[in-house]
Amino acid sequence: MKIYIDGKFYEKENAKISVFDHGLLYGDGVFEGIRAYNGRVFRLDEHLRRLQASARAITLTLPLSQEEMKEAVLKTLRVNKMKDAYIRLVVTRGEGDLGLDPRKCPKACVIIIAGKIALYPEESYTKGLDLVTVATKRNIPEALNPAIKSLNYLNNIMAKIEANRANTPEAIMLSKDGYVAECTGDNIFIVKNQTLLTPPCWVGALDGITRAVVFEIAHKLKVSAREGIFTPYDIYTSSEAFLTGTAAEVIPVTRLDNRPIGDGRPGPITKRLISEFRKLTLREGTPIGAFRKG
């Protein structure tokens, strides 16, 4: 595996950054998780636009243009000869000193890793996930806007620890007011009265790329879909529930807090969305290009 760091490629064991990088010291930076399927990078432009928006929100100057960043991602895949991959694109504030001041970091650092990821076993996509609602609340938007996909994930990690202790693969995180925000790494949808419902971003949910794709697919299938606030009670009493995310894709949820959702099996709308999403990823995307021989 070859890792891209600031225009050069390094073997995994030699891919290093400074211990004074503010991404390491303070979680000061932004990132994107991106997927490649069948020789194409899915929704690459959307991911790069979100990366740019996150960077602007924290006044981080990206050292590459969007076109240059796109080519860097594609080149990383070509160098690693990968047609199917999970890509982690990271931009840190760069090397500074031990102080907090970002002005001491003259240049941002770009890291691109192309590898594999499998958050959940394949049987979870046919049987569904068992989730738990955790005590750790989602960061309030007034403190850290959820639209910013930053490197600081400690809030989510604390919730993930609670899920681990409950022996469940994912956790529902609530806002300070008790509304469902999102999971530790995924957006959540429920089905109520044949309508898809997902929390609005202002509650604490990331404006997910896969979340947006589900809205597109729902429109195509003539399934009503909208944003709306809801509580765990609404999940308990929903007919279906599922999670979305770049790594997770679309995955059913069949239990929450030891309560079955619907009949305890993935529902028909969820199964249609999974099928349509998988078809879409295989036919759409930015071509990676030809691999070099040798």
- Provide the 10 A C-beta neighbour count for residue 83: 13
Compute CA 276 distance to the chain's CA centroid, rounded to the nearest angstrom. Answer: 19
Q: Using the structure block, give the residue that is written with the tokens 């009503």.
A: 224
- Residue 271's SS3 state is helix
Known catalytic residue: 149? yes
Asked if residues 108 and 94 have their Cβ atoms less than 8 Å apart, the reply is: yes
- Residue 218's SS3 state is helix
Closest CA to 153 of 33, 6, 66, 5: 33
Q: Which helix (H) or strand (E) holds 71?
A: helix 66-79
Alpha-carbon span 136 to 131, nearest angstrom: 14
Asked if residues 185 and 163 have their Cβ atoms less than 8 Å apart, the reply is: no
Per residue in 230-243, is it b (16+ CB within 10 Å) or e — as a string? bebebbbebbbbbb
Catalytic member of 12, 70, 75, 149: 149
Q: Which helix (H) or strand (E) holds 273?
A: helix 268-283
- Provide the 10 A C-beta neighbour count for residue 81: 11
Closest CA to 120 of 231, 263, 218, 266: 266
Strand 195-198 relative to strand 224-227: parallel, antiparallel, unpaired? parallel
The catalytic residues are 149
